[in-house]
């Protein structure tokens, strides 16, 4: 919104909504960074962060819908706003963080699946062994 004329009320509203949207994406970025720090090993701490992320995604969807309607009404170019550019950069970082977390999650899932397979294999192997008492029956002592 850096034209030579005074911005209209609609342009102010568009900028306000863009700032709101950008702040939501910044909050999402903070949650993604916290998730990255947890390394998915503290499930009791990860679950609330995932819930918070879902809530922020819903807010972002609603805010972006309002932004688009306002930009269409005002005729303000998305490219004319520095806030829009900052928002775009934040979304780009979110995509990168999401890809990183997805890869980490897939690796973690593979390790857990391998551990689970080993546990099942060990359980099956152990179930084939019988103690000496089970092979001969129980010993009863009569007096």
Do 94 and 59 touch, CB atoms closer than 8 A?
A: no
Question: What percent of the chain is predicted at pLDDT more than 70?
Answer: 78
Give pLDDT, residue 89.
97
Model confidence band, residue 20 (pLDDT cutoffs 50, 70, 90): very high
Task: List all residues 6 or more positions away from 10 whose beta carbon is below 8 Å from its beta carbon.
Answer: 70, 73, 74, 76
Assess if residue 124 is contained within a domain. Answer: no
Assess if residue 17 is contained within a domain. Answer: yes
Assess if residue 110 is contained within a domain. Answer: no
Statement: residue 106 has pLDDT above 70: yes
Assess if residue 3 is contained within a domain. Answer: no
**What are the CA-CA distances from residue 139 to residues 129, 135, 142 (Å)?**
19, 11, 10
Model confidence band, residue 140 (pLDDT cutoffs 50, 70, 90): low
Q: What is the DSSP string of 39-90?
A: TT--HHHHHHHHHHHHHHHHHHHHHHHHHHHHHHHH---GGG-HHHHHHHHH
pLDDT in tens, 122-132: 877 787 776 65
Whether pTM > 0.75 for this model: the answer is no
Model confidence band, residue 121 (pLDDT cutoffs 50, 70, 90): confident
Task: List all residues 6 or more positions away from 31 whose beta carbon is below 8 Å from its beta carbon.
Answer: 49, 52, 53, 56
Q: Which domain holds residue 35?
A: 9-105
Average pLDDT, the chain: 83
Between 42 and 116, the more confident residue is 116
pLDDT in tens, 75-102: 766 666 788 899 999 999 999 999 998 9
Assess if residue 29 is contained within a domain. Answer: yes
Assess if residue 138 is contained within a domain. Answer: no
Give pLDDT, residue 51.
95
């Amino acid at each position: 919104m850096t034209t030579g004329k005074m911005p209209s009320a609609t342009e102010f509203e568009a900028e306000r909504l863009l700032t709101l949207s950008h702040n939501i994406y910044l909050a999402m970025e903070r949650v993604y960074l916290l998730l990255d720090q947890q390394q998915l090993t503290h499930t009791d701490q990860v679950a609330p962060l995932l819930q918070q992320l879902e809530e922020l995604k819903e807010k972002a969807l609603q805010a972006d819908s309002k932004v688009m309607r306002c930009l269409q009404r005002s005729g303000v170019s998305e490219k004319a706003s520095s806030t829009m550019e900052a928002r775009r950069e934040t979304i780009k970082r979110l995509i990168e963080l999401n890809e990183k977390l997805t890869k980490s999650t897939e690796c973690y899932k593979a390790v857990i699946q391998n551990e689970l397979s080993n546990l099942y294999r060990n359980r099956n192997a152990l179930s084939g062994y019988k103690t000496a008492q089970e092979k001969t029956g129980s010993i009863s002592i009569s007096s």
